[in-house]
A = this chain, B = another copy of it.
Amino acid sequence: MNEFEIAPFKLTRGAFYILDQTKLPESEEYLQIKSKEDIYDAISKLKVRGAPAIGVAAAYGIWVATEEIDVDNFPDFIAAFLKIKDYIGESRPTAVNLLWALERMENKLSGIGNEMNFLNETKFSKVRIRERLFEEAEKIRMEDEAACYAMGEHGLTLLKPGMGILTHCNAGTIATSKYGTCLAPVYLGTVRKYDFKVFADETRPLLQGARLTAWELQKAGIDVTLICDNMASIVMKNGWIDAVVVGCDRLAANGDGANKIGTSGVAILAKEYGIPFYMYVPTSTIDLLTPTGSDIKIEERDGEEITKMWYEKPMAPEGVKTYNPAFDITDAEYITAVITEKGIVYPPYDVNLKKLFEDEK
């Protein structure tokens, strides 16, 4: 996982490092994760963020943390593992991928136990168990990377060389194991000399577009222009945008998609200007149990993110009322296509999203 210059994590001689995204773009620091406290801290303080990246970080993190387990038998190892898992699982309780990855690591451990029983192995080897846990973390990472790569390949069929592409927030390399979700076609296209011109919305209030997307695209040598969120309309009107690509936090069964605040506005502008709007959604993010976008609860965050964060001096009057939703819902009607690792899904989404999962049966 090191051949790529930018990665949200690194493995070097058995040590696991996380890129501290809170320090970007000022400095590029990789923190070594040495304990369960380290991984808890990294996830809870958003040093690693982006749903897929959080899952992968948690898997490696719990592998690292098992080093400190000092027992001489498998049942005690499991008991200690579960305590660590519960602890790490609290680091960001709303992150679905966090719990999903930790469950997978637990299932792997149970599997090792069953295998040991089957083979009638009685000798307890922490080293050997940890090797298998490491393999599982690697597998989770590689699956994520493969899914992003596949989304990139599918998405690239919708784009042409020289196109102007607008993106919102950060669904790029550092939000995943590699390639990103909606930025995957940009990276894959760049290798093929597609010479995209990318416009990155800064994405207030937390500025993921300015701090993260502009940073990672610039590092990759891709032509990126940073704009304020309220400039999306003029760049579209100027004729500079041929496609909009965004990620997704949860896609409802009817195709309504929750994503970073501001996404729905960009989608409406794209429709008005006749520009296709593509949402990149790994199938793990499609939630068929949620009928529509109106069934998705929108997290509201602290208003100080708007009024104080980043600023040297107050940039709003003291005590002013704010409204600070973290996400908004983009109605299915504004989404030209949903790009998953299994392929591209077109409307009607209520019918076609189900088919993605029926094929599995």
Contacts and interface: CB of A to CB of B under 8 A. Distances in A.
B205 A204 contact: no
A118 interface: no
A235 to B, nearest CB: 7
Main secondary structure of the interface of A (DSSP, over half): mixed
Interface string A235-273: 101000000000000000000000001101100110110
A218 B320 CA distance: 7
A328 B238 CA distance: 10
B226 A229 contact: no
Counted per complex, copies of this chain come to 2
Given A204-B202, A215-B317, A310 B310 contact: yes
Contacts of A91: none
A228 B205 contact: yes
Contacts of A306: 202, 210, 226-228
Interface string A170-201: 00000000000000000000000000000101
13 contacts: A25-B314, A25-B316, A25-B317, A202-B306, A204-B230, A223-B321, A224-B320, A226-B306, A226-B322, A228-B229, A228-B261, A231-B324, A237-B328
Interface of A: 25-26, 168, 199, 201-205, 207, 210-211, 214-215, 218-219, 223-235, 237, 261-262, 264-265, 268-269, 271-272, 298, 303, 306-307, 310-325, 328-329
